[in-house]
Each structure stands twice: as structure tokens, then as C-alpha cells.
């Protein structure tokens, strides 16, 4: 018997190729959305980094024996150690007894440490122009000792 098949596409092959094309094209908006949301993901990571930083500072402020703010630096005394938080370029770094360089928060445009009653206010502006601020109070009296 003579073979009826020619070298062209059959209708079934055309439907399979067209379906594959439609599936690929339908995924394009998802790829574009992922590319455009890259900044959004970075903003979320920056926010999470801020929350971790704030929690670390809260813990140390609440444990401190004394707290001072001078020259836009936060200095805590804990068990005869001096812990300093300071702006370093676009980062906030932590140093113990003026040694080390532990980056606590990065990509900050502006960092301000303000003394408030029995505590400190930390205000930052990140690279996305988002402002964050936290007030942390320690249980210390004027002499730098824990109260009753």
C-alpha cells in the first residue's frame, strides 16, 4: 500500500506546536513581573535587616549598665565592656572596646542617634528613601545603675 504521509505538518502536530507556543507565551508576564519586582524584594530584605538590627540593639540597651550618645554614636557599657554603634560610610557598625568591625545594617543614607529620657532613638533612611525609627528605653537611673 502506498504511504499517504507527506513531509508537512499534520493537524495534530500543528495543535501540539501551537499549544506549546501558548504555554511559553503565557509565562512571559510572570518573568517580567519577577524582573520588575527585584527592587521590591530588596526593600523587603532591607526591612527585615532593620528589624534584626533593632532587636539586637534593644537587647543590648536593656542589658547595659550605662548608655551615652555622643558625636552621633551610641555607647553602651555592659560588664566593663564598651559597645559602640556608629555610622561607617553607608553602614552601621558595632565595635567592642574600640576593636572589630561588625556590620549591623548596610546601605543607609542617613543615621541619627538621639538621646531620650532613659534611652535612645535611632532613626535611619535607607537607599530606597524609607525612614525607620525606634525608641529603646533602658531601665537605668541618672547614675547609670539599674533602678529598683
What is the domain count for the chain? 1
78 located within any domain: yes
pTM, to two decimals: 0.66
9 located within any domain: no
Q: Which domain holds residue 131?
A: 38-137
Non-local CB neighbours of 129 within 8 Å, separated by 6+ positions: 109
CA distance 120 to 113: 7
92 located within any domain: yes
75 located within any domain: yes
Q: How many CB atoms lie within 10 A of CB 83?
A: 19
Tens-digit pLDDT profile for the chain (148 aa)?
A: 455 556 666 888 888 999 999 999 998 888 877 777 666 667 778 888 999 999 999 999 988 888 999 999 999 999 999 999 999 999 999 999 989 889 998 889 999 999 998 889 999 998 878 899 999 988 755 554 443 3
89 located within any domain: yes
CA distance 2 to 16: 27
57 located within any domain: yes
Amino acid at each position: 500500500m502506498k504511504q499517504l504521509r507527506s513531509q508537512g505538518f499534520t493537524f495534530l502536530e500543528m495543535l501540539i506546536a501551537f499549544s506549546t507556543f501558548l504555554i511559553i507565551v503565557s509565562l512571559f508576564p510572570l518573568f517580567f513581573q519577577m524582573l520588575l519586582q527585584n527592587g521590591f524584594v530588596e526593600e523587603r530584605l532591607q526591612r527585615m535587616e532593620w528589624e534584626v538590627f533593632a532587636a539586637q540593639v534593644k537587647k543590648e540597651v536593656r542589658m547595659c549598665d550605662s548608655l551615652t550618645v555622643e558625636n552621633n554614636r551610641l555607647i553602651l557599657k555592659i560588664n566593663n565592656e564598651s559597645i559602640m554603634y556608629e555610622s561607617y560610610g553607608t553602614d552601621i557598625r558595632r565595635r567592642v572596646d574600640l576593636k572589630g568591625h561588625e556590620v549591623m545594617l548596610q546601605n543607609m543614607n542617613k543615621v541619627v542617634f538621639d538621646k531620650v529620657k532613659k534611652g535612645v532613638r535611632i532613626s535611619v533612611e535607607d537607599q530606597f528613601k524609607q525612614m525607620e525609627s525606634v525608641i529603646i528605653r533602658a531601665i537605668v537611673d541618672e547614675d547609670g545603675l539599674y533602678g529598683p
